[in-house]
Amino acid sequence: MTITANLQFIQQQLPKTVKLVAVSKTKSAEQLIEAYQAGQRLFGENKVQELLSKWQTLPKDIEWHFIGHLQSNKIKPIIPFITLIQGVDSFRLLAAINKEAEKIGRVVSVLLEFHIAEEDSKFGLSLPEAEEMLGSSEWKSFNHITVCGVMGMATFTSDEVIIKSEFERLSSIFVQLKEKFFRDSDHFCERSMGMSDDYLIAISAGSTLVRIGSKIFGNR
Ligand SMILES: *Cc1c(COP(=O)(O)O)cnc(C)c1O
């Protein structure tokens, strides 16, 4: 299967409410261009250096999402162009993004990453941690950030019951935060969940953004 055929196959499975992030980490510019020529404009990367070099060389109408774990000291160069930083999981990182965005007069969109998997190796906030952060007065002073929703990764397992219940938990976290903190924000609408092996389950649990890599570009 070609990249074009893979994209077409996936696109026709997605409801209109779900956007596809083509996760292009480790893949070459040529491979991204094939996806671009097939109409894909939204790509996800998880390393700052790799993202920067792709952003510099590839067409400027590509929207880039940062999908990995981001260190506060590495954010500066991506702030001018990044469309969405998925996976903000600490107050410190949020503060650093706000500060860099303020310097250049930009408002940067982010998702809050939640720990929903059984594995403890995965990054992410708990619901009480997020509530504490969003209730704080410092948070209210962050004028250069828009929180657009939540993101999470399910346990790496073939047990679909576990995966589904974890995605449903993320959806429920979304609803609780929406009611408590974002009732008046139209921006807070995204649930980023679902990868190559579990995106159909994620969609059935309310995903609005799927992040798919290997099913488009082949194994890494
Ligand atoms: C790599 C990655 C993906 C895509 O994984 P695939 O299994 O290749 O679809 C999605 N989300 C995050 C955060 C990733 O790091």
Cα Rg of the chain (Å, integer): 17
Is 194 a pocket residue for ligand 1 (Cβ < 6 Å)?
no
Token pair of 185, please?
Answer: 């924000």
Q: Are 192 and 110 in contact (CB under 8 A)?
A: no
Q: Which residue has the tokens 């579990």?
A: 198
pLDDT in tens, 34-81: 999 999 999 999 999 999 999 999 999 999 999 988 999 999 999 999
Spatial neighbors of 119 by CB under 8 A, at least 6 apart, are 155, 156
Is 68 a pocket residue for ligand 1 (Cβ < 6 Å)?
yes
Report how far residue 193's alpha carbon sits from residue 72's, in angstroms, rounded to the nearest whole number.
23
Q: How far is the CA of 135 from the centre of ligand 1 (A)?
A: 31
Q: How far is the CA of 213 from the centre of ligand 1 (A)?
A: 6
pLDDT in tens, 87-139: 999 999 999 999 999 999 999 999 999 999 887 766 899 999 999 999 999 99
Question: Of all atoms in ligand 1, which is nearest to the CA of residue 25?
Answer: 1
User: Quick one: what percent of the chain has pLDDT higher than 70?
Assistant: 99
Ligand 1 atom 6, closest CA: 213
Is 173 a pocket residue for ligand 1 (Cβ < 6 Å)?
no
pLDDT in tens, 168-193: 999 999 999 999 999 999 999 999 99
Domains for the chain: give ranges and CATH numbers. 3-217 (3.20.20.10)
Ligand 1 atom 10, closest CA: 211
Report how far residue 124's alpha carbon sits from residue 204's, in angstroms, rounded to the nearest whole number.
22
Predicted model pTM:
0.96
